Amino acid sequence: MKENRKSKIRFAVMGGTFDPIHYGHLVTAVAVMDEYYLDKVIFMPSGNPPHKMSRATSDANHRYLMTVLATTTNPYFEVSKAEIDRAGITYTVDTIRELRNIYGENTEIYFITGADAILEIITWHNVEELFRMCFFVAATRPGFHGKDMEQKLNEIKSKYKKEIFKIEVPSLAISSTDIRGRIKNGKTIRYLLPEAIEDYIRKFNLYLE
């Protein structure tokens, strides 16, 4: 049979500062891939995110390299430099538009966010276009049905006619903020993130200040 039509590509995008990347991110990514039968997950370390102006993030190159290191053991995980290489403030909507241009219309994109980020989603730049271009998956802790979140999801559903998928992951208590705090206070970060990332952090003396 002549191939005149490419089969659909389906992948997830996980945006984040990844400062540093940890098992919460990795467990979530693999859970979403598994749940929606996706071809791959693209990790997208942020450039200059509009929402994280309060804290200076580590050098983009460190964040990018740690993300690459943490994902090497999974052949279905990719890391993109698109946001890091883009000048100015980076908006998710530009990133997804760029991906749609690269992969074509016959593509299904799932954008992964933690439950915390989903609460802010309607404040994002051009959220309506974003909702048209991709599905959203919010990661929540098992047994955690935050009232705020349910309310927000219902709001989004009635206002934008857009359902946000939910997925339960078992490792939501891990956060980069907590990991940075532990390092600063001389506490162990073992088993919260891959060993290679721990070595990398030590080698470059990250998060001591």
SS3 139: strand
- In 3D space, the residue among 81, 70, 87 whose CA is nearest the CA of residue 30 turns out to be 70
Closest CB to ligand ATP among residues 71, 113? 113
Smallest separation (angstroms) from ligand ATP to the CB of 66: 11
Interface residues toward ligand ATP, by CB under 6 A: 16-19, 24-25, 28, 113-114, 116-117, 139, 169, 171-172, 174-177
Closest CB to ligand ATP among residues 104, 170? 170
Smallest separation (angstroms) from ligand ATP to the CB of 105: 26
30 DSSP assignment: H
Closest CB to ligand ATP among residues 1, 173? 173
Task: Tell me the CA distances in angstroms from 109 to 8, 37, 127, 162, one per residue in order.
Answer: 11, 12, 15, 14
Strand order in the sheet with 135-140: 77-79, 40-45, 9-16, 107-114, 135-140, 165-168
Closest CB to ligand ATP among residues 164, 169? 169
Backbone torsions φ then ψ of 135, nearest 5 degrees: -85, 155
Smallest separation (angstroms) from ligand ATP to the CB of 176: 3
Smallest separation (angstroms) from ligand ATP to the CB of 205: 19
Smallest separation (angstroms) from ligand ATP to the CB of 101: 23
User: In b/e form, how buried is each residue of 180-203, taking b as 16+ CB within 10 angstroms?
Assistant: beebeeeeebeebbbeebbebbee
Closest CB to ligand ATP among residues 25, 62? 25
Q: What is d(CA 89, CA 22) in angstroms, rounded to the nearest whole number?
A: 24
Closest CB to ligand ATP among residues 71, 176? 176
Smallest separation (angstroms) from ligand ATP to the CB of 193: 10
User: In b/e form, how buried is each residue of 10-36, taking b as 16+ CB within 10 angstroms?
Assistant: bbbbbbbbbbbbbbbbbbbbebbbeeb
